[in-house]
Amino acid sequence: MRLPLLALLTRGPAHGYELKQDLEKLLGAAYPQPNVGQIYVTLGRLEKSGLIEGEDVEQSGRPNKRTYRLTDAGREAVLAWFEDTAEEPRVRDEFFMKLALAPQSGMADPITLINRQRRQYLNTMRDLSKLAASEDRDNKISQLLIEGAMLHLQADLDWLERCQEELE
Amino acid sequence: MSDDAAGGAPAAPGPTPAPEPAPAPAPIVRAEGLTKTHHGEGAPVHAVRGVDLTVRPGEFVAVTGPSGAGKSTLLHLIGGLQRPDGGKLWIGGQRVDTFREARWAVLRRRSIGVVFQFFNLVSNLTVADNVELPALLAGASPKAARDSRAELLAELGLEGRERAMPGELSGGEQQRVALARALVNHPALLLADEPAGSLDSKGTREVLRLLSRFHQRGQTIVMVTHDARMASAADRVISFFDGRIADDAQLGGGRREKPGGVSRVLDLKE
């Protein structure tokens, strides 16, 4: 959450609740909604490490609201973030471990494990289809996020198929 | 449209008077020990090895599996496009594995619609003629065939394309014409063999949306696909490996009748 918040602040100062709303609007309902407490905690930490500066703004009849602006160090951090490539997604290692250890333990049949896992993935795929359909078609970022999830899942299903071919 | 197919009761152990609490409707497809071996160059390929399968009215069943697993052969056996070496097959309660080609042709015309990966439209006939032809062959009057064709093409978003030749259409449009052709005689069963296999992602979404829509209206569908996204639109997924059913799963946790469940899966906004 740290760097997305910093990146949003490159547009100009904002307060915590604004940032939460902007993030939601950008990513759509598909992405797990950031909770506002988590955002305030993160902003506090970013301020402590000197990447942003907070300023209290008085509001009539309501508690002060704290507005944050990016520091030069914060801008550097965002630049470095965009410079870096992201890590590869990891192979589902827990299922892999089960598959590897099932014959060793003699307590589970690998094919049964694969079939069960496939059912779960297919149901998730179905949920993702539903989500894609219920989300705003024009929110490209959100649609791409869902499509990415579906393609990952498709790859997982293809891999299960390979496992089944080899282990059957 | 299941009336004409419900004719001869099978002589073999009957599928219908099963001792179940609720009287289940007669299956659209019932296969017992279905077997098919391809003899080509090299070793014989056991494409389908003793498959038992029941498809009930209104089901949308996807068959997935690696290429070469025999899933297309299974679909072709169900549609009478290939003949089994062994086993029994009933369509709409009627024993059909003993049918010769002429009877199969009649059955397919009336009760089974098929769509293929490469559309298989008649390239020198217009879109309208491609759709009307099977209706005319099934004995519809020219006017009735025209009306059905107009209704289906409108439904599939192809109004104004009646005079076009298949080659002038995009892949997605050609598949929609193929779908109209398959459905023009209101078949009890729609078979789809990799219906989005040669389409881009937009065409794929479109075909899925239409299949889901017809399914919602009660169309029974059996679809072969290697695409999990396609498969997850079905409410039952059969995993086919090495000529056999490795798994047969109801999606969404068993029989789902809850409103807004499966029905809205791909109801994309237009």
Q: How many CB atoms lie within 10 A of CB B84?
A: 22
Average pLDDT, rounded, for chain B:
86
- Subunit contact A150:B246, Cβ cutoff 8 A: no
Residue ranges with strand state E in chain A: 14-15, 52-59, 62-70
Query: What length is written for chain B?
Result: 270
Q: Which residue of A has its CA nearest to B241?
A: A165
- Which amino acid would we find at residue B265? V
Can you name the CATH fold of B57-82+101-250? Rossmann fold (3.40.50)
Q: Which residue of B has its CA nearest to A165?
A: B241
Q: Which residue of B has its CA nearest to A137?
A: B269
Give yes or no for B202 touching A (CB within 8 A).
no
The domain spans of chain B are: 57-82+101-250
Least confident of A75-89, A91-105, B13-27, B141-155: B13-27
State the pLDDT confidence band at B262, using cuts at 50, 70 and 90.
very low
Q: How far apart are CA B270 and CA B267, in angstroms?
A: 9
- Position A92 scores a pLDDT of 67
What pLDDT digit, counting tens, does each position of A112-153 carry?
A: 999 999 999 999 999 988 888 888 888 888 888 888 889 989
Q: How many CB atoms lie within 10 A of CB A96?
A: 12
Least CB-CB distance to B232: which of A111, A115, A122? A122
**In terms of C-beta density within 10 A (0-12 exposed, 13-18 middle, 19 or more buried), how is residue B263 classed?**
middle
Contacts of A129 in chain B (CB under 8 A): 229, 232-233, 265-266
Q: Is the ipTM of this complex over 0.85?
A: no
Contacts of A165 in chain B (CB under 8 A): 66, 241-242
Can you name the CATH fold of A2-83? Arc Repressor Mutant, subunit A (1.10.10)
